[in-house]
């Protein structure tokens, strides 16, 4: 932790983007690609104990040691001309398996079912603690800066509704966007259709080979899924990741987010699991360049129709 | 060009982001890191002619051969459940120098002054052609997917105002955000102060070591700068890039955007040149991960105060 007043986690308002930006100097020192022997997410074994004091586990959840948001966030610095706020929230790590070399695509459907159940129970617990929005996500792949290889995701809870989450929730309140997507999209864009959950390349994908998953029925969060829906979503999730990994013959670096209803939107929000891959071709990563940064318009090289056709064909 | 109807450049509306997404399958085939001998941006010489049919030049501008937006954009595909639009606009390439190995930081102040002047004349010309918003930008560095090393930028003109540009323009119409930034920000965040142009690390920076430049006087676009302002901006621009390059002893990969007034906002917009570096430490790049993607909240590891102190100290 730095000693400067600007060093402890806090938020500053960006007056042109009209969104909060988070600052947390302490995260620069977080663990970076440790050797397998030193992995803090492996189960405890003789001679060493990482973050998880058990000799085996299925799924483990604990608070992030390098949090960008904390329940007891300090008073933010006072800066001339800048609106600041405490970075109030909670950051959790969710480890998917005791197996250091596993990945979402390698886990069996039972474990993926449990993962979705744990997302639901954590969302309920964090909402009960008073947080306004909860975001489970996974950053996968050294290519996109992942600092620990052991398969894991994270869960962030915020004491306010971030602008982008509010915008999507308002859009869903104005129109049943996700139900329409499932009902109206060309069936050729679907990876899985017909069951209690669907997976598809959205026709407005922002990344090549982007895949969305959703329960067919409008459910606001994983906590509201029936057992049948959870099982269908688990099966579709494993299938989607295996297709992405098969596409270029290497584990696909991706960002996975679980978009769930923020406070006040439970009656109109339809949850989605969104996977944004970062490899657009063998040896080529997708970057946000000048057009994306300067205008907000994403440029996509691979049409959703072509992406879906390739993802459907790559595995039986 | 693909033969599928979705293969020609067009836009699709993202109903949850509430922004356009651009599709252009043809760009996947664009030139990728050619050898220096085959560089299409070098001046013509015996035996080969690239894009520029002259044996020397100072700054060259021409239409992009792989445009994401064109004046004669075709009718977009009709897709069930998706709002589409033609990708109307114009994409230009702007080459900074005939020297293949130059860079913004290596050009002399006179050439940078000319570059800013050319940005202004192209913006005026593209506005006269009827475009609603013009975005000059530069993607620099193989690390972030730049496909040609020869120093160059691009200019995109849109026949509508992209949502993010509109949001920033509306914010500036509601309050003099940039003038306030210049007047109120802690002087310790400034790289250059006191002249007709300033450079500073904005206190709400979204990237470590982000630098903004602006004329002190409110000017809507480079076309409106006085000679004195242009010279001051040119000097500050070269200085900023040299500091970024010196920071980690290697050319800094960055996105540079020139944010100018879109149609209807010329009376309230204050132009900025914004440089967003992608290296946050030696060997570590900044990526947009799950929190940024899923919530819109950027997380920054290096405080603007610390970034400014380092950038000020790294060169005399």
A44-88: pLDDT as tens digits: 877 777 788 888 899 999 999 889 999 887 899 999 899 999 999
**Do A290 and B255 make contact, defined as CB atoms within 8 angstroms?**
yes
The tokens of B157 are what?
């003109």
Cβ–Cβ gap A25/B297 under 8 Å: no
* Lowest pLDDT segment from A48-57, A215-224, B163-172: A48-57
| Smallest CA–CA distance from A82 into chain B, residue | B203
Start-to-end CA distance of chain A, whole Å, equals 51
Q: Which residue has the tokens 């996974």?
A: A138
**ipTM, two decimals:** 0.92
Q: Of A181, A132, A182, A186, whose CA–CA distance to A159 is shortest?
A: A132
Q: Are B255 and B235 in contact (CB under 8 A)?
A: no
Cβ <8 Å between B4 and A305: yes
Chain A residue numbers with beta carbons less than 8 Å from the beta carbon of B14 are 204, 206
Q: Do A23 and B256 touch (CB under 8 A)?
A: no
Chain A positions in Cβ-Cβ contact with residue B81 (cut-off 8 Å): 180-181, 183-185, 203
Whether B82 and A203 lie within 8 Å, measured CB to CB: yes
Q: Does A248 touch chain B (CB under 8 A)?
A: no
Cα distance between residue B70 and residue B64, in whole Å:
10
**Nearest chain A Cα to B307, which residue?**
A25
Whether residues B162 and A295 touch (CB distance < 8 A) is answered with: yes
Phi and psi angles of residue B23, each rounded to the nearest 5 degrees, phi first: -120, 130
Residue of A294, A305, A308 to mutate, testing the B interface (most B Cβ within 10 Å of its Cβ): A294
For chain B, the distance separating the N- and C-terminal CA atoms, rounded to the nearest angstrom, is: 51
What's the whole-model pTM score? 0.93
Sign (positive/negative) of CA torsion B236, B237, B241, B242? negative
Active site includes B152? Answer: yes
Cβ-in-10-Å burial (0-12, 13-18, 19+) of B33 comes to exposed
Nearest CA among A93, A112, A134, A296 for reference residue A199: A112
Find, in chain A, the residue whose alpha carbon is nearest to that of B7: A303
DSSP annotation string for B160-199: S--HHHHHHHHHHHHS-HHHHHHHHS-GGGEEE-SSSEEE
Q: Is A78 touching B (CB cutoff 8 A)?
A: no
Residues in CB range of A85: below 8 A, 6 or more apart: A10, A11, A12, A13, A20, A76
Torsion, CA B29, CA B35, CA B37, CA B41, rounded to 10:
50
Partner B contacted by A283 (CB < 8 A): no
A188 touches chain B (CB under 8 A): no
The string of pLDDT tens digits covering residues B1-52 is 333 444 689 999 999 999 999 998 655 555 555 666 778 888 887 777 778 8
Angstrom distance (rounded) from CA B34 to CA B51: 14
CA distance B87 to B70: 7
What does residue B79 show for φ and ψ, rounded to 5 degrees? -125, 130
Average pLDDT of the segment spanning A106-112: 96
Q: How far apart are CA B293 and CA A206, in angstroms?
A: 11
Sheet with B254-259, side-by-side order of all strands: B60-63, B89-95, B152-158, B133-140, B254-259, B272-277, B211-215, B197-200, B190-192
User: Please, which pLDDT band fits residue A146 given cuts at 50, 70 and 90?
Assistant: confident
Q: Tell me the C-alpha distance between B79 and B95, whole Å.
A: 38
- Residue A259, classified by CB atoms within 10 Å of its CB into exposed (0-12), middle (13-18) or buried (19+), is buried
Nearest CA in chain B to A175: B15
Q: pLDDT tens-digit profile of B85-119?
A: 999 999 999 999 999 999 999 999 999 999 999 99
């Amino acid at each position: 932790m730095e000693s400067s007043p600007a060093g402890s986690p806090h938020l500053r308002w960006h007056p042109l983007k009209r969104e909060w930006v988070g600052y947390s100097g302490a995260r620069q020192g977080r663990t970076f690609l440790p050797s397998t022997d030193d992995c803090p997410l492996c189960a405890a074994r003789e001679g060493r104990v990482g973050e998880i004091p058990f000799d085996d586990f299925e799924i483990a959840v604990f608070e992030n040691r390098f949090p960008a948001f904390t329940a007891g966030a300090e008073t933010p610095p006072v800066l001339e001309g800048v609106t600041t706020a405490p970075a109030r929230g909670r950051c959790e790590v969710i480890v998917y398996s005791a197996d250091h070399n596993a990945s979402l695509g390698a886990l069996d459907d039972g474990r993926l079912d449990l993962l979705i159940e744990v997302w639901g129970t954590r969302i309920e617990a964090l909402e009960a603690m008073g947080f306004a929005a909860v975001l489970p996500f996974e950053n996968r792949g050294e290519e996109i800066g992942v600092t620990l290889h052991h398969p894991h995701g994270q869960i962030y809870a915020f004491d306010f509704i971030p602008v982008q989450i509010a915008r999507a929730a308002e859009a869903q309140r104005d129109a049943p966007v996700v139900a329409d997507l499932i009902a109206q999209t060309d069936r050729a864009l679907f990876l899985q259709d017909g069951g209690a959950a669907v997976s598809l390349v959205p026709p407005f994908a922002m990344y090549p080979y982007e895949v969305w998953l959703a329960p067919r029925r409008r459910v606001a969060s994983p906590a509201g899924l029936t057992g049948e829906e959870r099982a269908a979503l688990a099966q579709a999730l494993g299938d989607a990741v295996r297709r992405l990994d098969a596409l270029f013959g290497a584990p696909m670096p991706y960002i996975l987010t679980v978009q769930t209803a923020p406070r006040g939107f439970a009656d109109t929000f339809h949850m989605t699991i969104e996977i944004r891959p970062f490899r657009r071709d063998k040896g080529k990563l997708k970057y946000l360049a000048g057009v994306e940064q300067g205008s907000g318009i994403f440029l996509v090289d691979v049409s959703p129709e072509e992406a879906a056709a390739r993802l459907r064909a790559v595995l039986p």
